[in-house]
Amino acid sequence: MKQHLFSELVAAIDLLSPGQRHWLLEQLQHPQNIPDIIEHLEQRLRADLQCPHCNHAHIYRWGTVKSLQRYRCRSCLKTFTALTHSPLSHLRKREVWLTYAQSMLHSETLRLAAYRCDIHLTTSFRWRHRFLQLADCLNARKLAGIVESDQTLFRESFKGQRTIQGRAPRKRGKDHPKDARWISVLVARDRKADEADFVLSNFTLKKVEEHLLPRLSNDIVLCTDGHLTFEVFTAKHNIEHRVLNASVGERVKESVFHIQGVNSYHQRLKGWISRFHGVATKYLSHYLGWFRWFEQHRSENHQPADFMEDLISTDTIQHLAQT
């Protein structure tokens, strides 16, 4: 707002009736049109004001854009707002972001979320994957003590893709299960319920070394179903290994070693993901991240704004940079 208009506004405050004054105060304290999340991002930027383009700290105000404070950098002369470089940049219709987040808290399909927010299906798709970019990275960095690990398989899916390399697209339900390729998702979990999972195209030693090994603390005991890949992996890296052989009814060894935590995680994951009627393999990791967020917040009563704040929190961004 221009300074002279603002001065007029301030001058007009004296003319307000007590009722109008009260209403205005309410509006200022609980703005209807600006989602809390924007306020949160602006506060965060104000607390640590630096240029997102070049990290320079010499910044000055440079008008507003769509009711957001705009800043300009003295060093690179570029302008920015609190949304610049955030997962929410260039997304329109801010007024329904929270409704969209609410829909994600209810694990709704893209179509239902689009309907609820009155947005196009392609917009719904773009938002979902933008919101999920960071959830993708909430993987535990370190697993300690007794670590259970097991793979679960998801059928390869090219859902939503118009062109598929190597074969013609099929109508849903018209394909043979034996033609399907299966994608391995490796889940590892320790007894503090720290959890990490990875989409591996193949369950091989190389993949397990690449993804799981860096997250294992030094003196862990790994519990698995004894898959050959785990046998080779633990032998090569001197990891204590306990094998649970389910086919002969072996559930628990020495009363502490089992893989029931990881297997029940698989079950909850599969149950949750089934509502989407198949997820494109390309986006499977986003969905794993979304589910992981629910698992990490199981006992809390979360609001849409918390969900969004978590997804854009500095922690996750730093985590993203480190992964």
Q: Given the rule CB under 5 A, which residues bind Zn ion? A: 51, 53-54, 56, 73, 75-76
Q: Which is nearer to Zn ion, 78 or 266 (CB)?
A: 78
Q: Which is nearer to Zn ion, 49 or 246 (CB)?
A: 49
Are 137 and 319 in contact by the 8 Å Cβ rule? The answer is yes
Q: Kindly state the helix (H) or strand (E) to which residue 2 belongs, with its residue range.
A: none
Q: Which is nearer to Zn ion, 53 or 227 (CB)?
A: 53
Residue 51 CB, nearest approach to Zn ion (Å):
3
Beta strands in 95-169 (DSSP E): 146-155
Which residues on adjacent β-strands are paired with residue 106?
A: none
Residue 57 CB, nearest approach to Zn ion (Å):
9
Q: Which is nearer to Zn ion, 59 or 221 (CB)?
A: 59
Q: d(Cα 224, Cα 258) in Å, to the nearest integer?
A: 8
Q: Which is nearer to Zn ion, 50 or 296 (CB)?
A: 50
Residue 49 CB, nearest approach to Zn ion (Å):
11
Residue 44 CB, nearest approach to Zn ion (Å):
18
Q: Which is nearer to Zn ion, 1 or 76 (CB)?
A: 76
Sequence-distant (6+) residues with CB within 8 A of 8 are none
Residue 84 CB, nearest approach to Zn ion (Å):
11
Residue 41 CB, nearest approach to Zn ion (Å):
18
Q: d(Cα 254, Cα 10) in Å, to the nearest integer?
A: 75
Q: Which is nearer to Zn ion, 61 or 174 (CB)?
A: 61
Residue 54 CB, nearest approach to Zn ion (Å):
3
Q: Residue 120 has which token pair?
A: 């196009």
Q: d(Cα 307, Cα 104) in Å, to the nearest integer?
A: 9
Residue 59 CB, nearest approach to Zn ion (Å):
8
Q: Which is nearer to Zn ion, 82 or 114 (CB)?
A: 82
Q: Residue 186 has which token pair?
A: 């490796």
Are 189 and 170 in contact by the 8 Å Cβ rule? The answer is no
How many CA atoms lie less than 13 Å away from 283 in the CB half-sphere? 20
Reduce the DSSP state of residue 65 to 3 states and report it: strand
Sequence-distant (6+) residues with CB within 8 A of 51 are 57, 59, 71, 73, 75, 76, 78, 80
Are 188 and 286 in contact by the 8 Å Cβ rule? The answer is no
